[in-house]
Amino acid sequence: MGSNRKKDRQAEAEARRILDRVNRESEGSSMMIRVRNHIAARDAEKEDPIELWGTRIGRAIAVTFLTALILWVLLYVFGIIGN
């Protein structure tokens, strides 16, 4: 009887770990918050305004370039541009 309880507790603990992981991974809003904080350079030095704005500008340029590149690839793949 004791081994059944132990197996039940282990199964319950495993189920809780799985549910916690699914909950963490399914939170889209937390990912968007992390992206927004990254683009806004909240991790850069706050005391140095040049570094702060340089980081923000660099990250904004990177996002703009990535968006343009994805758009170009999609247009090329679907035959809207190029032959």
Residue 4: pLDDT band with limits 50, 70, 90: confident
Residue 6: pLDDT band with limits 50, 70, 90: confident
Total structural domains within the chain:
1
Please give the residue range of the domain that contains residue 6.
Answer: 2-77
Residue 35: pLDDT band with limits 50, 70, 90: confident
Tokens (6 digits) for 19: 């549910």
Span 27-53, mean pLDDT? 81
The sign of the torsion formed by the CA atoms of 48, 51, 57, 60 equals negative
Indicate whether 70 belongs to any domain. Answer: yes
Span 50-56, mean pLDDT? 90
Indicate whether 37 belongs to any domain. Answer: yes
Indicate whether 82 belongs to any domain. Answer: no
Indicate whether 83 belongs to any domain. Answer: no
Indicate whether 73 belongs to any domain. Answer: yes
- Residue 1, pLDDT > 90, answer no
Indicate whether 39 belongs to any domain. Answer: yes
